[in-house]
Chains A and B, each alone.
Chain A
Amino acid sequence: MNIVSNKNSVAWFFILPAFLIHLVVVATPSILSLALCLTDWNGFGKINFIGFENFNELFDDRVFKKAIVHNIIWTVIFLTIPIALSLTCAYLLTGIRRGQLIFRLVFFFPYMLASIISCQIWKYIFHPLHGIGVWLSNNGIELFEKSPFAVKDISLYAVALVDGWHFWGFLVVIYITGMYQVDHSMYEAADLEGATKFQKFRFITLPMIRPIFIFTLMIIIIWSIPTFDYIYILTQGGPAYSSEVLATHLYSQAFDRFNVGYSSAIGTLMFFYVLIIVSIFGLLQKIGWEI
């Protein structure tokens, strides 16, 4: 008995350092955030408990409401365009032999770039004096007179394009890994019955990669909420809050205005959202959805 408990404590001793560092960096400040969201602290003065006042205030905050809408748009964009593009691309890739590896590397490489690099590249591409806008207008098409990052109606979509460009190759590689696990004889059988490419995709490929597909839906839904880098670097949420999202709103509340309580309230909402999404997917798995 003594030996067993001794072995157990050695095992926990090995886990302890990793646990401690994570506890200090993530868990402790998260719990602090949970507590601070019920206060009106500004980082310096007295801490007053104000209950759910911050949350009440949030729902009257025009910018907060805008940010939520933008996060929803962002999620919808990433759930549709990159997924459609990368599914098509992965499916086409499984059909070819020659050059397959090169294509895969080319699609994946942008995913390795730092956000600051992707942003710089596209800032130049859309630059009003140098970018494709100039080239297009020389050829008679007046599409981008101003940089789309500076136009209220499209700034959010322009930033999403940059992030999507960086991200979609990651999906290609994930999907193709799944598609390789599909038994080839199923396609041959379908060929014999005269199935079209689309039918094979719809009735063989898609069902077979369903677990991976659902996993990607989940990570996109989760990752779309704390999205920050691209928007902060390219537009800082502007012009006129037209590309403000929760993360950039929180950041300016936190570090420009030091509204500790208020920004903690936004962070807490984001956390609960992620928690709910993860639980929903976990629940679906429990009731027998193959995830």
Chain B
Amino acid sequence: MTTQKHRRTELIPNYFILTILALFSILPILLLIFNSVKPQEEFGINALGFPNQIRWENFLDAWILGKYAEIFLNTIKLVSGTLLVCLFLSGLAGFSLARLKPKGGNLFLIYLLVGISIPAQMFILPLFLMWKVAGLMNTHMGLIIIYSGLNAPFATFLIRSYMIQLPEELFDSAKIDGASTLQSFFKIAVPLSWPVFLTTALVVGLAVWNEFLFALTFIQDESAKPISTILFAFQSRFENNWGLVSASAVMMVAPVAILFMLFQKKFIAGLTSGATKG
């Protein structure tokens, strides 16, 4: 009993420091949310506090002035296109490396490792020139190909490390039943590995949703821009209209926040997978 009590008072400094650090993380985000529903005239007198008057119309204004329906559609196209291409290609490659174990497969893994560590700045300009020649500039297809290529190594690693643990007997019995390799990929490996596909989809989807550098470089046509670079343009176009800019930002964060609440464990496991699995 006394030790229990002792432990509890001992923990007060822990909680105190942790709370201060948590406030450092969360207060700026709260401020963004406050600002998103603040009427313009309040920014002069109540810049940092909770709004005295809540103005939901900021969202409507941003939606209309920023043509958000279009921008969201652009972004969703990029995310879903990348997920489709990247997960399919990486699923095939991960499956092959984990289950079929071809000769020289390790060489490909090393290739991917080197590929992951090449900084984007190394190849962005030649890629830009290549895309210009190929007529892929300002197209969503062009950016989907880039995002799929950029994320393929990570996705392949993740999927491979999951499929490698699947029991061999399942594949053996499918082989006896006369299933082709492609059939055993679609009918056995993919259904059994859905958790890793979900994790990969969340991490890659988030990366595409948030991506800035390639979107900035490869899509200059205003009407094709995704949300991250549109927000960048917004910040100078509506520079002092903080309500509008903040509402736009909240609209960009909201889907991420909702998915994070639903799949926190998968997000965290996926995003830290490099570190915790070695």
A280 within 8 A of B: no
Contact B126 A36, beta carbon cutoff 8 Å: yes
26 cross-chain CB contacts under 8 A: A11-B105, A18-B93, A18-B152, A85-B21, A88-B17, A93-B18, A111-B271, A114-B210, A115-B212, A116-B252, A120-B245, A120-B246, A122-B28, A124-B31, A135-B48, A170-B271, A174-B276, A212-B275, A212-B276, A226-B120, A233-B212, A254-B125, A255-B217, A260-B126, A270-B119, A274-B118
Query: In the complex, which of the residues B88, B125, B212, B275 contacts A229, with contact meaning CB atoms closer than 8 Å?
Result: B212
B53 within 8 A of A: no
Bound together, the chains give a CA A174 to CA B245 distance in angstroms of: 33
Contact B125 A267, beta carbon cutoff 8 Å: yes
Contact B89 A21, beta carbon cutoff 8 Å: yes
Contact A22 B121, beta carbon cutoff 8 Å: no
Look across to chain A and name the residue whose beta carbon is closest to the beta carbon of B16: A92
A48 within 8 A of B: no
Q: How large is the interface on B (under 10, 10 to 19, 20 to 34, 35 or more residues)?
A: 35 or more
**Known interface pairs A15-B92, A278-B117. Does A254 touch B124 (Cβ–Cβ under 8 Å)?**
yes
B59 within 8 A of A: no
Q: What B residues does A7 contact at CB under 8 A?
A: 100
A1 within 8 A of B: no
Query: In the complex, which of the residues B47, B95, B231 contacts A14, with contact meaning CB atoms closer than 8 Å?
Result: B95
Interface pick from A49-57, A73-81, A214-222: A214-222
The residues in A between 251 and 291 inclusive whose CB is less than 8 angstroms from any CB of B are: 251, 254-255, 260, 263-264, 266-268, 270-271, 274-275, 278
Contact A222 B108, beta carbon cutoff 8 Å: no
Q: Tell me whether chain A's interface is mostly helix, strand or loop, or mixed.
A: helix
The residues in A between 31 and 66 inclusive whose CB is less than 8 angstroms from any CB of B are: 32-33, 36, 43
Interface pick from B65-73, B141-149, B165-173, B190-198: B141-149
Contact B119 A225, beta carbon cutoff 8 Å: yes
Nearest CB on B from A197, distance (A):
9
Bound together, the chains give a CA A222 to CA B274 distance in angstroms of: 14
Bound together, the chains give a CA A125 to CA B35 distance in angstroms of: 11
B122 within 8 A of A: yes
Most chain B beta-carbon neighbours within 10 Å: one of A96, A106, A219: A106
**Known interface pairs A15-B92, A92-B18. Does A125 touch B25 (Cβ–Cβ under 8 Å)?**
no
Bound together, the chains give a CA A8 to CA B21 distance in angstroms of: 54
Nearest CB on A from B246, distance (A):
8
Contact A229 B213, beta carbon cutoff 8 Å: yes
Contact A174 B121, beta carbon cutoff 8 Å: no
Interface pick from A126-134, A150-158, A200-208: A126-134
**Known interface pairs A29-B123, A121-B28, A165-B24. Does A17 touch B92 (Cβ–Cβ under 8 Å)?**
yes
Contact A113 B253, beta carbon cutoff 8 Å: yes
Contact A18 B181, beta carbon cutoff 8 Å: no
Contact B260 A109, beta carbon cutoff 8 Å: yes
Contact A30 B21, beta carbon cutoff 8 Å: no
Q: What A residues does B97 contact at CB under 8 A?
A: 15
**Known interface pairs A113-B210, A113-B256, A178-B276. Does A14 touch B96 (Cβ–Cβ under 8 Å)?**
yes
